Amino acid sequence: MRIVALVSGRGSNLQAILDAVADGAVPAELAAVVSNVPGAYALERAARSGVPTAVLRHRNFPDRAAYDAALAELIDGYRPDLVVLAGFMRLLTPAFVARYHGRLVNIHPSLLPAFPGLHTHRRALEQGVKLHGATVHFVSEDVDAGPIIIQAAVPVLDDDTPESLAERVLAQEHRIYPQALAWIGQGLVRLEGTRVRFARPLE
């Protein structure tokens, strides 16, 4: 399975994926890492692992549609089976999402459908939820709302700050993203219409 990862920032999830690919836990090859932000630390992580990198700055494009068309062209040059959003901080157009139907996954730092969008840890504390977590899902047109592949929950503690909670959630992100990619790479999970289908376990 060939993966292209899209990143914007520090790339800790990308690192977890690179490590899982390197140790054979995810049967895949990182074909490229693409960023909209020049200088994103994730690009350094990719380069360190010998993965080709590319930068496509959104500012050079008149609108979202033009950017996403150029992004898709760049991605398709790497012939990926799967496009992995790993902290890619841009909304994607419906045309882009449709082009990669069933081949586009994201990780979100909450137990979806709770807390789509930004500042999930702060909002979880404000709401007083006792469980929080992370979700890996196929990307659909609606933001942070696609069919769910795997979730991990963590307790919210009395003395948590957004930072301490983020750290606890992030540790789970680094576990479940490679797990989801392994399942997809092994053909155990796929998107059928709007439903995630799991292969029946071997008897």
Q: Which amino acids are annotated catalytic?
A: 108
The DSSP element (H or E) to which 67 belongs, if any, is helix 64-76
CB of 190 to ligand GRF, least distance (A): 22
Quote the CA–CA distance of 103 and 160 in Å, as a whole number.
36
CB of 172 to ligand GRF, least distance (A): 10
In the complex with ligand GRF, which residue's Cβ is closer, 160 or 173? Answer: 173
* Residues contributing to the site for ligand GRF (CB under 6 A): 9-14, 42, 86-87, 107-109, 173
CB of 53 to ligand GRF, least distance (A): 15
CB nearest ligand GRF: which residue? 87
In the complex with ligand GRF, which residue's Cβ is closer, 14 or 105? Answer: 14
In the complex with ligand GRF, which residue's Cβ is closer, 40 or 184? Answer: 40
CB of 184 to ligand GRF, least distance (A): 18
Burial of 192 (0-12, 13-18, 19+ CB in 10 A): exposed
Taking alpha carbons only, the member of 112, 109, 129, 88 closest to residue 170 is 109
In the complex with ligand GRF, which residue's Cβ is closer, 57 or 119? Answer: 119
Q: Which residues of 141-160 are buried (b: 16+ CB within 10 A; e: fewer)?
A: eeebebbbbbbbebebeeeb
Quote the CA–CA distance of 190 and 168 in Å, as a whole number.
28
Q: Classify 165 as helix, strand or coil.
A: helix
